[in-house]
Amino acid sequence: MAGEPDGGRASAATRRRGAVLEQAILDAAAEELKESGYSGLTMDRVARRAGTNKNAIYRRWPSRAALAVAAYGRMTVTEARVPDTGELRGDALELLRAANRHLSSPLGRILLDLLASARDDPDLLAEIQARTGGDGLTGMWLTVLGRAVARGEAAPEALHPRVATVPIALLRNELLTRGVTGVPDEVLVEIIDEVYLPLVRGRGPR
């Protein structure tokens, strides 16, 4: 256990305590998740990587899944950027492509695995939802849709969270059944052209 001075403190404590140790554990878990995914995550390796032992981990998190969720929550990148192509189709495709890239990444895979393993645990599920900022995504789609309504590209009635997030839901459904390869772009285009645009514009005479 190499001496690691407490940041800024004069004393040379040899043992990390409290929040400092917790941070080290979460960092280690995050690294392990990135490298091996959820299924490859082991408590032994997290402990080793954090330079501690399992006791310290289990004192804070009741299970492997709980630790993984906590670590995952620190990994989510907020690269949210609302596109502005000047038209709804362009904006929607950009958003959907970004979501596809994200959900097809190792991070997206981790999320799906966490959702699967937390299925019996409402508290853990709730925590996953809270940490993945699901609502942030809804906000972006509503922004884009709001602009489209203002431009007359979409009907005002379409401004509804469940409507706004249909493409994301369809994307998730595709990922559920496809595996790790990501969703082909043609499918994304189809989702937007065959479902989303007709939905928000009104199907019929186009």
Eight-class DSSP state of 156: G
Is 82 within 8 Å of 98 (Cβ atoms)? no
Q: Which residue in 200, 138, 147 sits closest to 168, CA to CA?
A: 138
Q: For residue 132, state whether it binds DNA (rule: CB under 7 A).
A: no
**Angle 122-131/106-117 helices, nearest 10 degrees?**
160
CB contact at 8 A, 74 and 31: no
Q: Is 54 in the site for DNA (CB under 7 A)?
A: yes
Q: How far is CA 121 from the centre of its chain?
A: 19
Minimum CB–partner distance for residue 47 and DNA (Å):
8
Q: Which stretch binds a second copy (CB under 8 A): 7-15, 54-62, 135-143, 164-172?
A: 164-172
Which of these ranges, 50-58, 96-104, 110-118, 136-144, lies near DNA under the rule CB under 7 A?
50-58
Residue 151 binds DNA, judged by CB under 7 A: no
Smallest distance from the beta carbon of 174 to a second copy, in angstroms?
8
Q: Which of 10, 11, 162, 181 binds DNA (CB under 7 A)?
A: 11
Residue 109 in contact with DNA, rule: CB under 7 A: no
Q: Which of 23, 34, 44, 198 binds DNA (CB under 7 A)?
A: 44
Query: How far is 206 from 189, CA to CA, in rounded Å?
Result: 17
Alpha helix ranges (H) inside the chain: 18-36, 43-50, 54-58, 64-73, 88-103, 106-117, 122-131, 134-151, 161-164, 166-178, 185-190, 197-201
Contacting positions for DNA (CB under 7 A): 1, 6, 11, 13-18, 21, 40-44, 51-56, 58-59, 63-64
Residues that bind a second copy (CB under 8 A): 109, 112-113, 115-122, 125, 129, 134, 155, 157-158, 160, 162-163, 166, 168-170, 172-173, 176-181, 190-191, 194-195, 198-204, 206
